[in-house]
Amino acid sequence: MLECISTCSTRSATGLSARSPIPPFEYKPSSTPFFEKYPVEGYENSLLSELEEYLGVKLLTRSTRGLTPTEAGLGYLERARRALEEAAEAELAARGAGAGLKGRLRVCAAVTFARIHVIPMLPQFMAQHPELDLEVILDDRQIDLVQEGIDVALRMGKMMDSTLTARRIARCKRLVVGTPAYFDRAGTPSTPSELSKHQAVVYLQGEGSVWSFRRESTELAVSVQSRLRVTAAEGVRAAVLAHAGLTIASEWMFTPELRSGAVRTVLPEWSLPPLDLWMVLPTGRAATAKARAFVAFFERAFSA
């Protein structure tokens, strides 16, 4: 739904009259593919028209069914929302109210990692900040943080986009894992080269079918057989736990099962490249107090 919020802005170098009303927009994503209709009447309509005239572009397309944001309107919307958030952050800092976090924080994380490690800890974080609301977007893809209105993302692996602001906050081992039932049936590999005789469950967003190992100064790349390739980590977990094969996974992906013995590791003398966890911010944005508090909380949790 779109919501039109009227504010007053003191003229700087804009050319608008002093204390000209400028209506930035704030929105919440709708469950429908289009924005819902909302009324813009009277004074608000005048503000909107004045702003469109000043900018020289249409922000909304008007029809008898309602209003639809134009491409220029969506761009203005995002930047206006960002400016309002940063202004609120500045006011909090000036008032010395940084400890009392308020408002909404939108966080993005991979599905499996969030289900096992993030969601269970959210009640503790929210208890520390009772006036803060959280929206957690779970997606294994690397979505556009600006377009989706994300404040901070938790991402794993290599940072391919150099324009993003990112900081590593944790690191964990990667292991070759499988269930005891699978190894009873297929045998336990004692060297990486023996993996070519096994069935692998390949995570398409991970290493693929070529697995790289290292032991001291020796490096070895092995091509594995795979009749099952999966695009999501939840599917990899389900396949391994169904005894379909072995896989490369981070300790984070199978933490409960590694503790319980439902899966076990092989090739302990060989190491795989570790997996990094990153705090990622939208391009061009500094971390808000809310984002910093969220990241610091989980950074402490993973270092404990």
Provide the residue ranges of all domains of the chain, joining segments of one domain with +: 2-95, 103-162+279-303, 174-273
Q: Kindly list the distances between the CA atom of residue 49 and the CA atoms of 62, 167, 250, in Å, as whole numbers in the listed order.
A: 12, 42, 54
CA torsion angle 282 148 85 297 (round to 10): -70
Q: Hunting for tokens 């919501």 — which residue is that?
A: 3
Fold classification of 2-95 (topology level): Arc Repressor Mutant, subunit A (1.10.10)
Return the pLDDT at 69. Answer: 78
From the options 3.40.190.10, 3.40.50.970, 3.40.50.620, 3.40.710.10, give the CATH code of 103-162+279-303. 3.40.190.10
Q: Hunting for tokens 């206006």 — which residue is that?
A: 80
Common-topology check for domains 2-95 and 174-273: no
Tokens at 82, concatenated: 């960002």
From the options 3.40.190.10, 3.40.640.10, 3.20.20.150, 3.40.50.1000, give the CATH code of 174-273. 3.40.190.10
CA angle 225, 232, 222 (to 5 degrees): 25
For residue 196, give every residue at least 6 positions away whose Cβ sits within 8 Å of its Cβ, in sequence order, or none: 222, 223, 224, 225
Tokens at 190, concatenated: 């004692």
For residue 87, give every residue at least 6 positions away whose Cβ sits within 8 Å of its Cβ, in sequence order, or none: none
CA 282 to CA 287: how far, in whole Å? 9
Local confidence pLDDT in tens for the 304 residues of the chain: 344 434 433 333 344 444 444 444 444 444 333 334 344 445 456 777 777 777 888 887 777 666 777 877 777 776 776 666 666 655 555 554 445 688 899 999 999 999 999 999 999 999 999 999 999 999 988 888 888 889 999 999 887 776 778 889 899 999 999 999 999 999 999 999 999 999 999 998 877 889 999 999 899 999 998 999 999 999 999 999 999 999 999 999 999 999 999 999 999 999 999 999 999 988 766 678 898 899 899 888 887 6
Return the pLDDT at 8. Answer: 35
